[in-house]
Amino acid sequence: MPQSNEGLLLLIGALFLLLGLLGGGFEISSIKLPPVGKFTRGFALVIGVMVFGLGLLRLASPVPAIATPTAPSPTVTLTTVPPSPVPPSPVPPSPIPSPQASSPTQPAPIVLPEITALPINAKIHDVSLAYNVIRFEKKGMLIHVKFSISGMQAQEGHATAYFYDQDGNPLMDQNGAYAASDGAVAVDVLFTPSYPITQYDDLELFLPYDELELDAGTYNLKLHVEIWESAHPENPALAVSPEINFYLEK
């Protein structure tokens, strides 16, 4: 088969060479070549040289021997045999601790802030008088007291006014209507503070002129006001005002 291939190449190459050299117009065996142009003759000549030369080259080359196929090397498959499992040695179970009764947690004690009661104190800031005031269909004098008091929230107290002549002698009551425990002329009013520290801007005390129980005449008199704790009359007065001088004509 190789010789046939080279001979075919040589034949084809020879035909193209003849076509290029002679320009066609001839017949070889049963092959009739028509006349061709100048350009075609040149192209045929080049093709003929190449094909004819390739046929000569292949004819001169040695025929390669046909290699006998060799049987493939046997494939060796390595099979790994797993080792026989060694049974694990028994592990003793961990001891389960027995539940212990937990001691009850004592709640933290609640410490309440210590409430310190305010000491009982009072202070009279001002005392003023209003004359010829009509109360209870009687003419008299109105005493305005401004004071503050502490430590007596929701506890009863009273303010008392005492009356004296110019020499400082107490005016004595005759009918028991406006009188202190010692029989002297006095007028008082009760109060109950609403707060730990309470201030009264205008606590009023009214005394009819007739209750001074003086004969007709002109008098220079004086008074002072005291603040008391009603629950403990045995204690001294909580506050005492300065003496207030006033003039009375009957």
pLDDT, tens digit (0-9, with 9 covering 90-100), for 69-124: 555 554 544 444 455 555 555 555 565 655 555 555 666 766 555 556 789 999 99
The range of the structural domain enclosing residue 173 comes to 121-249
**Is position 112 within any domain?**
no
**Is position 113 within any domain?**
no
d(CA 226, CA 238): 7
d(CA 75, CA 78): 10
Q: What confidence score (pLDDT) does residue 78 get?
A: 46
Q: What confidence score (pLDDT) does residue 33 get?
A: 65
Q: What are phi and psi of 117, to 5 degrees?
A: -70, 140
**Is position 143 within any domain?**
yes
Same domain, yes or no: 210 and 134: yes
Q: How far is CA 177 from the centre of its chain?
A: 70
d(CA 191, CA 154): 9
Looking at residue 209, the DSSP 8-state letter turns out to be: G
How crowded is residue 152: how many other Cβ atoms within 10 Å of its Cβ?
Answer: 24
Overall number of domains in the chain: 2
d(CA 221, CA 128): 15
Q: What confidence score (pLDDT) does residue 21 get?
A: 75
| 161 in Cβ contact with 189 (< 8 Å) | no
H or E element that contains 135: strand 121-135
**Is position 84 within any domain?**
no
Same domain, yes or no: 239 and 125: yes
Same domain, yes or no: 237 and 127: yes
Same domain, yes or no: 133 and 20: no
H or E element that contains 246: strand 244-249
Same domain, yes or no: 137 and 224: yes
Crossing angle of the two packed helices 2-22 and 38-60, in degrees rounded to 10: 150
d(CA 188, CA 28): 171
**Is position 130 within any domain?**
yes
**Is position 76 within any domain?**
no
Same domain, yes or no: 161 and 237: yes
* Alpha-carbon dihedral angle through residues 195, 197, 201, 202, given to the nearest 10 degrees: 60
Positions of the chain with pLDDT under 50: 67, 74, 76-81
How crowded is residue 174: how many other Cβ atoms within 10 Å of its Cβ?
Answer: 11
